[in-house]
């Protein structure tokens, strides 16, 4: 986020840039309409302008998909049942219509994520997780969801947390 003054309702007060086409924060850094620091391409970046956190195409109305440090995300909940080839790519079968399926016959995309009829990524219960705007052209999800930065809802993460509490 940029640095802003706030109005009486605690909403950030964006500053119109000199060209009138963009917004800036109090430090003159480029921001979007929600106050996130952005590069010239509209991608959300870190404060040092060294890392792109969210690509413009993944944003909806200037916001990234809602995740927070306490969000629990387990990638296994959206992955099909398949083996990997030596390069780490899913080995998938095809149904009668030529669509990729996992070993259990569920429809998946080329990356092995469970999908519905529209190509939206869903979990094992059918709940929507990622629409087409949030996926890249190959059906991959944003890196923050693949890197393990978000807490997993597994028993092992609970065990690690309990061990850390005991150590401290």
Give the Cα separation of 47 and 118 in Å (integer).
Answer: 37
DSSP 117-166: TTS-EE-TT--EEE-GGGS-TTSPPPHHHHTT-SBP-SHHHHHHHHHHHH
pTM: 0.57
Over the stretch 2-16, which tens digit does the pLDDT of each residue have?
999 988 888 899 999
Band (92; pLDDT cuts 50, 70, 90):
very high
CA distance 75 to 157: 14
C-alpha pair distances (Å), 81 with each of 84, 112, 113, 137, 151 = 10, 8, 9, 22, 22
Express each pLDDT in 108-138 by its tens digit. Answer: 999 999 999 999 999 999 988 888 878 888 8
More confident site: 155 or 7: 7
């Amino acid at each position: 986020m940029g640095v802003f003054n706030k109005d009486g309702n605690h909403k950030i007060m964006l500053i119109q840039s000199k060209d009138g086409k963009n917004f800036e924060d109090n430090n003159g850094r480029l921001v979007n309409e929600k106050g996130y620091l952005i590069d010239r391409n509209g991608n959300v970046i870190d404060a040092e302008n060294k890392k792109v956190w969210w690509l413009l195409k993944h944003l909806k109305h200037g916001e990234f998909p809602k995740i927070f440090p306490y969000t629990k995300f387990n990638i296994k909940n959206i992955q099909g049942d398949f083996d990997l080839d030596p390069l780490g790519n899913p080995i998938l079968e095809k149904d009668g219509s030529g669509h990729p399926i996992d070993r259990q016959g569920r429809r998946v995309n080329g990356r092995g994520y469970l999908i519905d009829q529209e190509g939206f990524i869903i979990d094992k219960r059918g709940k929507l997780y990622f629409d087409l705007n949030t996926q890249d052209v190959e059906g991959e999800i944003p890196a923050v969801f693949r890197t393990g930065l978000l807490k997993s809802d597994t028993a092992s993460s609970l065990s690690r947390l309990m061990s850390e509490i005991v150590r401290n």
